[in-house]
Chain A
Amino acid sequence: MTHFVDRRLNPKGKSLANRQRFLRRARNQIREAVQKSLKDSAVADLGKERKIKISTKGTKEPRFRLDPRASGERDFVLPGNKEFSPGDSIDKPKSGSGGAGKDASDSGEGEDDFEFTMTQDEVLDIFFEDLELPNLVRTTLKETPNKQWKRAGITTAGSPTQINLVRTMRNSFGRRLALKRPTMADVAALEAALAAAEQDDPVDPAKISALKEHLARAIAKRKWVGFIDPIDVRFNSFTEQPTPTSQAVMFCLMDVSGSMGEREKDLAKRFYMLLHLFLKRRYKKVDVVFIRHTHDAQEVNEQEFFYSRQSGGTIVSTALDKMLEIQKERYATADWNIYAAQASDGYTQSGDARHCVDMLNELIMPLCQYYAYIEILDEREMEVFASEDSGAELWRAYRTVAEEWSNFATKRIAKPADIFPVFHELFKKTEAA
């Protein structure tokens, strides 16, 4: 007896549990690998599923193995002899892997590092493992678009489509029992008895009239005790329940004046990308607003934000103006968590820095959950400005804001490798939080 079984519909992913165990086991190596791969990857690939290569350290599965290279002697047989005769010698391959030197006994001593693909979720989980947005506040529930219908028991009123038949019939049955509604069978029995009585010889008029009366009463009762009465009817009831959603908006402010080259923009983009991924993970809804500025600020789409080659002088405060304008228009603080990240090379028109500081202190910081200022420097500059206290005008001005506001942070980056540590530091989990 042979069985043919179609297993294709069986649940897949039987190995998921093992995969999770493996990820957990290899946590440290994976974390290193993910960070490395994020660091080196192209801007556009940041949030994608990715292939990572981890070392087998920590996931080694050692077995006792023989080591024929250490000492001893052995024989082995190979296929494919073309020119050798007994007594010939063949030089051993220089190091490790090489055709002739390899045989069963030395496999397994040096397990290769290996590659595998992680889903976006797995990558982000690891990436954000110990990060947290500071000052995370849940926004109000008011008029959120997310509502869910939830069962709310049984009611006596509702729309016909929501009739609960079981409950209705149960009530109807109980009522019919309680009021002793004659059944069809009862009526039929009476009718039969009446017919029989009419056939009787001699006819008993008293019995006939009694039966007629019974029958009439039964029929009448069936009329006034309805099969289903409006009081029996029950409806399923649902109520709308608002589900809390939290939302965030991120303002990306970037200086695109002539001094910001591709390299600077690329660094900035990486930072924004991380911030975006991060917010997305924390909030149901995340909006991103791109504002670029030279001596004049505009809201643009992402593409333009990063790739347009607009140029001009620099007035940073225009971007702040723009941000406030958009915020007033679209992002009420009652409903939105507001984040801003500003990237600049730190040069602005003289006097403008002062203006920015005033705006930040008085208007912007009270609105924001968090404001990060990223100054993008040359690597050479990085050395010059080794101390946090020295720097260009904007930097020094912003330092005063940072002293005032704990949710204002300033950082400098010069190369892709700096981004992650800086990001990490900016969004470090605070014990108090």
Chain B
Amino acid sequence: MSSKLLFTDSEWDFATVERTYKAIEDIALNDLGLDVYPNQIEIISSEQMLDAYSSIAMPLMYNHWSFGKMFAREETLYRSGYSALAYEVVINSSPCISYLLEENTMTMQALVMAHAAFGHNHFFKNNYLFRQWTNAEGIMDYLAFAKKYIAACEERYGRDEVEAVLDSAHALMEQGVFRYRRPPRPSKERVQEKRRRRAEYEEEAYSELWRTLPAGIEPPAAPPTRDHEDEYGGDAKLPEENLLYFLEKNSPVLKAWQRETLRIVRNLSQYFYPQRQLKVMNEGCATFVHYTIMNLLYERGQISEGSWLEFMHSHTSVVFQPEFSDRRYSGFNPYALGYGMMADIRRICEKPTPEDRDWFPSFAGKGDWMGTLKDAWANYRDESFIEQFLSPKLMRDFRLFALYDKADASAFKVSAIHNEGGYRQVRAMLARQYDVGAADPNIQVTGADLKGNRTLFLSHAMHRGIPLHNQTKELVLAHVERLWGHDVKLEEHAA
């Protein structure tokens, strides 16, 4: 039996990692039937992991001080032992890049490969939101472009100028996504006009010297210099929920490079938007997959008992959910909830109770847990997933209860608990809690006085009477004014 073990040491080397990867891949593809992008596994040092963290986990990112701030904070936390580094970072790209930390033990490397290279990877490739909104093949190229473009702008217009635009754009990142539709397509003439301009620019900027560059080196990306572009006053459709888009297209004061900068931030924001709606499912899927794979490895005698215990130790700490009164509590742990629900779905498929048959007639006792899960992974987001799949048993396990909060009351009111009368209410409320659309303030551009003093009108439709936090509102509005160049008025009204 020991001859079948993939590894016996906790030390890893490339041969072992590769052998283990093959075994995991075999289970993932053949036993579980996962569908993944090609994998690229990279071993990095802890310092590089910190680097990766602080550029929002992307291997390429333009420079900005806020990433430095994030780095400084993470580094301090890490060095003083407050937080451990994540064992892995995985990037939604094709090939799907997973970073493994060099300090991990071999068991951890196996766990991380199962988790990231197959769990996350499958989810990235199959979930409808990722499919619809992110372009796994193109993201790296786009980031490379963005980095080069911002650097070229800094060179040309000065760091402070670029920093100011980025600051303002970052402040509006959450208002820089299309939630319900793809961006409006520019009209045909517009596209042609743009193409003509680009050609003109390229002609102007053409230099014989570029021809002498060795193959593979491209001339520096030069941002367009033209200050005036006829985009302003174009096809603004109101109301517009995507503030960054509106400003990019319609601001009277922005120069072409500033519009492009807004566009970059907006595209990134859009790229990360699905991620925000899929935290529970994404982590749940990866955790469920690593749990299943590691156990199969153990059952088949490919990893030792010691290694399995090590795995279980880190698995249980990952899915630990402190209770609300616990000092460690800081909201729901997406790993715990996501994994809990997915393990529960498997249980319902395999060994349902009468209650489960009542609640989930479509799949309880049908046995095809992998099919049920794959369908869920592909077609739901956190909100709808919880709404559809959270079982009474899990609500009891988590001891969920719902509170009603009125701002001027001195106490919260318990509105429902995990009992017969409360299951549906608790579940619905928890699902709402994961609706990013409801958690983000609903702010729209309602008008712009383009003929008069150019005031921009924004409105916040308050959900259940909750207004914007006043101080931060003023700060963000200052950023909007900077981008718009004229007065900005924000009104809050009941939805």
Q: Report B149-181 CB contacts with A as 1/0, cut-off 8 Å.
A: 000000000010001000100110111000000
Give the complex CA separation of A163 and B163 in angstroms: 54
- Say which one of A84-92, A253-261, A272-280 lies at the interface with B: A84-92
Taking a contact as CB atoms under 8 Å apart, the answer to whether A2 and B38 are in contact is: yes
Q: Which of A72, A79, A92 contacts B464 (CB 8 A)?
A: A72
B residues in contact with A87, CB < 8 Å:
413-414
CB of B258 within 8 Å of the partner chain:
no
Give the complex CA separation of A5 and B400 in angstroms: 44
Q: Assign chain B's interface to a size class.
A: 35 or more
Q: Return A398 CB to nearest CB of chain B, in Å.
A: 45
Q: Return B305 CB to nearest CB of chain A, in Å.
A: 27
Taking a contact as CB atoms under 8 Å apart, the answer to whether A86 and B475 are in contact is: no
Q: Report B40-54 CB contacts with A as 1/0, cut-off 8 Å.
A: 111111011011001
Q: Return B177 CB to nearest CB of chain A, in Å.
A: 13
Binding site for B on A (CB under 8 A): 1-8, 10, 12-15, 17-26, 51, 59-82, 84-92, 99-106, 108-109, 114-117
Q: Return B108 CB to nearest CB of chain A, in Å.
A: 16
Taking a contact as CB atoms under 8 Å apart, the answer to whether B467 and A70 are in contact is: yes
- Say which one of B224-232, B358-366, B418-426 lies at the interface with A: B418-426
Q: Return A211 CB to nearest CB of chain B, in Å.
A: 54
Q: Which of A18, A64, A75, A104 contacts B472 (CB 8 A)?
A: A64
Give the complex CA separation of A106 and B432 in angstroms: 16
Other A-B contacts than A65-B472, A80-B324, 20 sampled, CB-CB below 8 A, are A3-B95, A7-B42, A12-B47, A12-B48, A21-B63, A21-B64, A21-B68, A22-B72, A59-B69, A64-B174, A65-B469, A67-B469, A72-B407, A72-B462, A73-B466, A76-B433, A86-B417, A92-B411, A109-B472, A117-B75
B residues in contact with A115, CB < 8 Å:
73, 76
CB of B331 within 8 Å of the partner chain:
yes
CB of B25 within 8 Å of the partner chain:
yes
Q: Return B117 CB to nearest CB of chain A, in Å.
A: 8
Taking a contact as CB atoms under 8 Å apart, the answer to whether B41 and A4 are in contact is: yes
Q: Which of B68, B407, B409, B471 contacts A20 (CB 8 A)?
A: B68
Q: Which of A18, A22, A67, A77 contacts B466 (CB 8 A)?
A: A67
Give the complex CA separation of A118 and B102 in angstroms: 26
Q: Return A8 CB to nearest CB of chain B, in Å.
A: 5
> Which residue among A25, A64, A88 has the maximum number of chain B CB atoms within 10 Å of its CB?
A64
Give the complex CA separation of A64 and B114 in angstroms: 38
Q: Report B312-340 CB contacts with A as 1/0, cut-off 8 Å.
A: 00000000011111110111100000000
**CB-nearest residue of chain B to A5:** B42
> Which residue among B102, B326, B467, B479 has the maximum number of chain A CB atoms within 10 Å of its CB?
B467
**CB-nearest residue of chain A to B167:** A61
Q: Which of B99, B400, B479 contacts A77 (CB 8 A)?
A: B400
**CB-nearest residue of chain B to A59:** B69
Q: Which of A13, A59, A82, A102 contacts B47 (CB 8 A)?
A: A13
Scan residues 25-40 of chain B and give those whose CB is less than 8 A from a CB of chain A.
Answer: 25, 38-40
| A7 and B66 in contact, given A12-B51, A75-B402 (Cβ under 8 angstroms) | no
Binding site for A on B (CB under 8 A): 14, 17-18, 21, 25, 38-45, 47-48, 50-51, 54-55, 63-69, 71-73, 75-76, 79-80, 95, 99, 102, 159, 163, 167, 170-171, 173-175, 321-327, 329-332, 398-418, 421-422, 426, 429-430, 432-433, 439-441, 443, 460, 462-473, 475-476, 479
Taking a contact as CB atoms under 8 Å apart, the answer to whether A66 and B468 are in contact is: yes
Q: Which of B54, B403, B409, B470 contacts A67 (CB 8 A)?
A: B470
20 example contacts (A-B, Cβ-Cβ < 8 A) are as follows A2-B38, A2-B39, A4-B14, A4-B18, A7-B99, A15-B55, A19-B68, A21-B68, A62-B476, A64-B443, A64-B468, A73-B406, A75-B404, A76-B429, A81-B399, A81-B418, A88-B413, A90-B413, A91-B410, A104-B439
Taking a contact as CB atoms under 8 Å apart, the answer to whether B407 and A70 are in contact is: yes
Give the complex CA separation of A91 and B414 in angstroms: 11
Taking a contact as CB atoms under 8 Å apart, the answer to whether B412 and A8 are in contact is: no
**CB-nearest residue of chain B to A69:** B407
Q: Return A173 CB to nearest CB of chain B, in Å.
A: 30
Taking a contact as CB atoms under 8 Å apart, the answer to whether A100 and B403 are in contact is: yes
| A19 and B324 in contact, given A75-B429, A91-B411 (Cβ under 8 angstroms) | no
Q: Return A62 CB to nearest CB of chain B, in Å.
A: 4
Give the complex CA separation of A63 and B71 in angstroms: 20
B residues in contact with A114, CB < 8 Å:
72-73, 76
Q: Which of B43, B325, B410 contacts A8 (CB 8 A)?
A: B43
Taking a contact as CB atoms under 8 Å apart, the answer to whether B466 and A71 are in contact is: yes
| A2 and B21 in contact, given A81-B417, A114-B73 (Cβ under 8 angstroms) | yes
Taking a contact as CB atoms under 8 Å apart, the answer to whether B69 and A22 are in contact is: yes
Q: Return B450 CB to nearest CB of chain A, in Å.
A: 24
Q: Return B89 CB to nearest CB of chain A, in Å.
A: 12
Give the complex CA separation of A421 and B440 in angstroms: 48
A residues in contact with B66, CB < 8 Å:
22, 59, 61
Taking a contact as CB atoms under 8 Å apart, the answer to whether B75 and A68 are in contact is: no
Taking a contact as CB atoms under 8 Å apart, the answer to whether A66 and B466 are in contact is: yes
Give the complex CA separation of A8 and B68 in angstroms: 21
**CB-nearest residue of chain B to A100:** B324
Q: Which of A18, A100, A108, A109 contacts B67 (CB 8 A)?
A: A18
